[in-house]
Chain A
Amino acid sequence: MIGAATTIDPGWWGLAASMLLMVIVLAVALGFGINMIKEGAVAAARATVQLVAVGLLLGWIFAHNHWWAICLMLAVMTVVAGFTAGQKVNKVLKRTGPLITLILAAVTALTLVYVTQLAVGVHQMTAQYFIPIGGIILGNAMTAAVLATTRYAEDLKEQRDKVEAALALGASPAQATRELLRKAFTAAITPTISAMLIVGIVKLPGIMTGTLLGGVKPLVAARYQLVVLFMLIFGDGMTSLLVLAAVRKRVFTSAWQLRV
């Protein structure tokens, strides 16, 4: 555990009590003539089943701490993230899933090793650190990859003729789309940068809230949150740049012709 562990377990009754909150708000909404009971029930059921399942699975992995189980878990998460990203990008550019998955795997592995070894100081492969940290890197990098790719491909299609006018003057694909690349990277990285600007002022970020609830001293929790933010900037930024470079390579032929 991080720092002194004094975690209080809500228990099943506690969970039931919290669920009652949802029932109350749905009942009040019904009083206003808004029937959200079905949606609420489905969401509550799915969240419960998914999280309890993950809790049980992680419980087993944490208890046994097999290196292969940790790797397998991270691999499955990466593939799901890559697939999800591919699905989202599909509307503007097809078949990017495998590409994004590959880059997510490389960036996540690199970031994870760096952060655990140099920042957190966990020198063995410990499920308790590797899986949550890997998960947060992946989740954010996936969003960044989707934002960057979508923006780049959309802008490229919209400004196709202008890009081709630059190619016609001898610009390389990189030169012809420099501005598009800058905009795509900015779009991908801005959410995290914006979050850093207001962090701690408007609300306590997720990791800090989580570690505080886990019984960690506030200053330690703050340091953890900062480590996570810097780590996310790296993961998001690196993923975006690599994905953009790969996409740029795909949307032009070797003879500098546009393929979209």
Chain B
Amino acid sequence: MADGPAIRLSDVRVTAGGLRSLLLDPPDNGEDRVILDGVSLEVPSGGVLSVLGESGGGKTTLLRCINRLIDVESGTVQVLGRSVRDWPTRELRHTAVFVPQRSFLFGGTVREELIHSLRWNGRGAIKMPLGEVLQAVGLEVPHDKPASELSEGQRHRLCIARALLLFPKVLLLDEPTGALDVRTAREMLAALKDWTGDKGATLVCVTHRPEDLEVLGGEALILLHGKVAGRYPAADVAARKVDADTSAFLGRPSGVTT
């Protein structure tokens, strides 16, 4: 298992209609937009993959199908060599943790906020390196401070630290730097990359900022209209050494893509 890819997607297709069909009360609009259209990709164990693309281009959906918050319509999704449909749900969600773009607090102090996920698992005070996970997101706050008093950027980093406390093998981050200024973003990504590198964890990071790639390194995947438009070494994308389409996309002001 150590040799195989941490994540493998084969010909994954997801449509708006397919997601709607899961709903109890699907809305009537007949629009059936393709969100992911035959996406295949592999991320090696311990690798770093950044995902760039237009807003509504399927980036978040890609992450959400890896820890099975949604099911794909066709194709397969594998985590650590095993189809997500064969994983026990909780084990999968702890192995591949998804941190959404918006930060959500479940209440309490920084310390309590961090251990929510452990409590849900019935795991008590066995392994709680709170300092370590806070450091891994570059957050220095008192553990007994109410989490609601943190700034938006601090909250978001706290949410990432909360996910790290599960010691995931795969970390799925949706625009982790969206709420941060450039310098803080850089610091956090560097600390985060150190942490995942140290643990041998795989990092998949959706971002709209090419400058994030310089820090993250690894590879970058360009997702346009639900299709993989290209995959390059991150450094090349950061330096715009890419084909015309991708270059055109990257050339847009980053504000447009959020």
The complex places the Cα of A175 from the Cα of B122 at a distance, in Å, of 11
CA distance A164 to B101 in the complex (A): 12
A170 near B106: Cβ-Cβ < 8 Å? no
The complex places the Cα of A250 from the Cα of B159 at a distance, in Å, of 29
Cβ contacts under 8 Å, A93 to chain B: 24-25
- Total residues of chain A contacting the partner, CB 8 A: 24
**B interface bracket (residues with beta carbon within 8 Å of A):** 20 to 34
Using Cβ atoms and an 8 Å threshold, which residues of chain B touch A167? 69, 93
B89 in contact (CB, < 8 A): yes
**A162, B155: Cα distance in complex, Å:** 14
**A59-67, A138-146, A213-221, A251-259 - the one binding chain B:** A251-259
Which residues of B, 12-26, contact A by the 8 Å Cβ criterion? 22-25
| Contact present for A164 and B22 (CB under 8 Å) | no
Which one of B24, B93, B100, B102 lies within 8 Å of A260 (CB-CB)? B24
Total contacts A to B, CB within 8 angstroms?
74
Q: Chain A: which residue is nearest B107 at the CB level?
A: A179
CA A114 to CA B60, docked complex, whole Å: 53
**A 169-186 to B, binary, CB cutoff 8 A, 1 in contact else 0:** 111100100000000000
- Inter-chain contact B22/A253, CB cutoff 8 Å: yes
Q: Contact between B120 and A259 (Cβ–Cβ < 8 Å)?
A: no
Is A165 a contact partner of B120 (Cβ separation < 8 A)?
Answer: no
Interface string of A223-260 (1 = CB under 8 A from B): 00000000000000000000000000011010111111
Tell me if A168 and B98 are in contact (CB < 8 A): yes
- Does any Cβ of A come within 8 Å of B240's Cβ? no
Please indicate the chain B residues that have their CB under 8 angstroms from the CB of A161 in the complex: 100, 102, 104
5 additional contacts, CB 8 Å, given A168-B69, A171-B120? A162-B104, A168-B99, A170-B166, A171-B117, A257-B22
